[in-house]
Amino acid sequence: MFKKKLTLILTIVLIVNLGLIGFLFVQNKKMNDEMQQIKQEEAAKKEAEKEKAEKEKAEKEEQERIENEKLKGSADLIAINNGIDKMAESYMLLGTIQNNTNKQLTSVSIDFTIFDSYGNQVDTMSASTPSLGIGDTFDFEIISDTLPGYDYDLATAYEVPVANYTYNYDINYNY
């Protein structure tokens, strides 16, 4: 009888231990799965951070490239003179434009609007060049086809030079 009780007790202990071992095995499996998931999430987070940093770097490089391609500076009128062309007896403008940009300009034009002494627009004049290198200058001479260089003074019966024209200008260019 003692043997039966002992066998029963040992059987119960064995069953309990097997159940405990099974429970621990399941718990260990869960912990391993959770650890694996955490490692995968950390790896995915690192990969996302790496991709974000690479994207930001590429965007910054593209922005720098675009900034470097932008036209910096301008084409400027560096000298201007107006007066009378005595040979043609007409109004003229002489000047120089300089390319103060960081690019070769493929075309440059300067457009003048001419005003009389009353502020009325009386003519437009323009000059252009097909290209202008960095730092290069373009000298122009424009003679008006419509503005007289001289007015006839009825009181003296002589031609008098017209010196009271004024002008505004715009410089346009492409690169």
28-49 pLDDT, tens digit per residue, is 888 888 899 999 999 999 999 9
Give dist(CA 4, CA 170) in Å, integer: 116
Q: Provide the CATH number for the domain around residue 116.
A: 2.60.40.10
For residues 36 and 84, membership in a common domain is answered with: no
Q: pLDDT grade, residue 74 (50/70/90)?
A: confident
DSSP code for 149: S
For residues 87 and 58, membership in a common domain is answered with: no
Tens-digit pLDDT profile for residues 123-134: 888 999 888 899
For residues 102 and 145, membership in a common domain is answered with: yes
For residues 120 and 159, membership in a common domain is answered with: yes
For residues 66 and 87, membership in a common domain is answered with: no
Cβ-based neighbour number of residue 138 at 10 Å? 20
By DSSP bridging, strand 75-85 and strand 107-115 are unpaired
Tens-digit pLDDT profile for residues 4-21: 777 877 788 778 777 778
For residues 97 and 164, membership in a common domain is answered with: yes
For residues 49 and 128, membership in a common domain is answered with: no
More confident residue, 37 or 88: 37
Full-model pTM: 0.55
| Domain region containing 6 | 1-70
For residues 105 and 129, membership in a common domain is answered with: yes
Give dist(CA 79, CA 135) in Å, integer: 15
For residues 54 and 81, membership in a common domain is answered with: no
Q: How many secondary structure helices (H) and strands (E) does the chain include?
A: 1, 8
Contacts 24+ apart (CB under 8 A), 135-139: 135/98, 135/99, 135/100, 136/98, 136/99, 137/78, 137/96, 137/97, 137/98, 137/99, 138/96, 138/97, 138/98, 138/99, 138/108, 139/94, 139/95, 139/96
Give dist(CA 94, CA 137) in Å, integer: 13
Cβ-based neighbour number of residue 136 at 10 Å? 14
For residues 61 and 142, membership in a common domain is answered with: no
